């Protein structure tokens, strides 16, 4: 087994410990494992020539996410942003341990960490590809569930922010997805108001 496959195996085994599960196409998956695989698939679709660091980052972007609960931080935007920042560092730390164990060099590990931490988002094409893929995973697999528990006004705001995070390739892919009628209507409203 090569280093990439070994790293994927270790990332996947870690994420398979996720306590929450998702049922997709009648198959039960640990949530974080499912989303890691889908994120990796989107990165590979958006950038068929993605280098190894980007592929590694795509598979460990949210590794161990369940281990730091949102409710352990204060409510509101400041608490949310602190949680997200701490999570990113936590993911990068786990990734560093696993990649070191597999035998990756320091340069590759540092590059994976840069992508996981989303450093230089608008100027680093790999980081932007990751951001596009994250938005696409949300739109394809989490969007309809969020619609059901969110007001239209808030949903439009979320969609506008999501759209703003993506570059043109991400937006083109987003427009090609199949949405529920309500989901499609909300996207059209969000883009019209933008």
CA dihedral sign of residues 127, 129, 131, 137: negative
Contacts of 165 (CB under 8 A, 6+ apart): 131, 135
Q: How many helices (H) and strands (E) does the chain have?
A: 10, 2
> In which residue are the tokens 């085994």 written?
13
**Other beta carbons within 10 Å of 162:** 21
Question: In the prediction, which pLDDT does 194 show?
Answer: 46
What values do phi and psi take at 58, rounded to 5?
Answer: -65, -30
Q: Tell me the pLDDT of the chain (194 aa) as tens digits.
A: 799 999 999 999 999 999 999 999 999 999 999 999 999 999 999 999 999 999 999 999 999 999 999 899 999 889 988 998 999 999 999 999 999 999 999 999 999 999 999 998 888 999 999 999 999 999 999 998 889 888 989 999 999 999 999 999 999 999 999 999 999 999 989 998 54
Question: In the prediction, which pLDDT does 193 show?
Answer: 56
Contact 53, 112 (CB under 8 A): yes
**Burial level of 2, CB count in 10 A (0-12/13-18/19+)?**
exposed
Q: What is the CA radius of gyration of the chain?
A: 17
Contact 30, 117 (CB under 8 A): no
Question: In the prediction, which pLDDT does 122 show?
Answer: 81
Question: In the prediction, which pLDDT does 45 show?
Answer: 97
Question: In the prediction, which pLDDT does 130 show?
Answer: 96
Question: How do the domains of the chain map onto residue ranges?
Answer: 1-117, 121-194
Question: In the prediction, which pLDDT does 100 show?
Answer: 97
């Amino acid at each position: 087994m090569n280093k990439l496959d070994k790293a994927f195996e270790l990332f996947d085994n870690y994420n398979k410990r996720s306590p929450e599960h998702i049922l997709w196409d009648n198959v039960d998956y640990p949530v974080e494992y499912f989303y890691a695989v889908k994120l990796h698939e989107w990165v590979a679709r958006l950038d068929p020539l993605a280098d190894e660091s980007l592929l590694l980052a795509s598979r460990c972007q949210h590794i161990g996410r369940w281990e730091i609960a949102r409710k352990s931080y204060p409510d509101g935007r400041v608490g949310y942003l602190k949680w997200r920042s701490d999570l990113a560092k936590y993911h990068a730390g786990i990734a560093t341990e696993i990649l070191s164990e597999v035998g990756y060099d320091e340069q590759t590990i540092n590059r994976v960490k840069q992508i996981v931490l989303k450093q230089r988002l608008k100027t680093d094409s790999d980081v932007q590809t990751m951001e596009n893929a994250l938005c696409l995973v949300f739109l394809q697999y989490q969007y309809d569930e969020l619609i059901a528990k969110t007001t239209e006004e808030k949903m439009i705001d979320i969609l506008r922010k999501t759209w703003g995070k993506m570059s043109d390739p991400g937006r083109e892919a987003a427009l090609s997805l199949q949405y529920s009628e309500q989901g499609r209507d909300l996207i059209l409203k969000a883009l019209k108001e933008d």
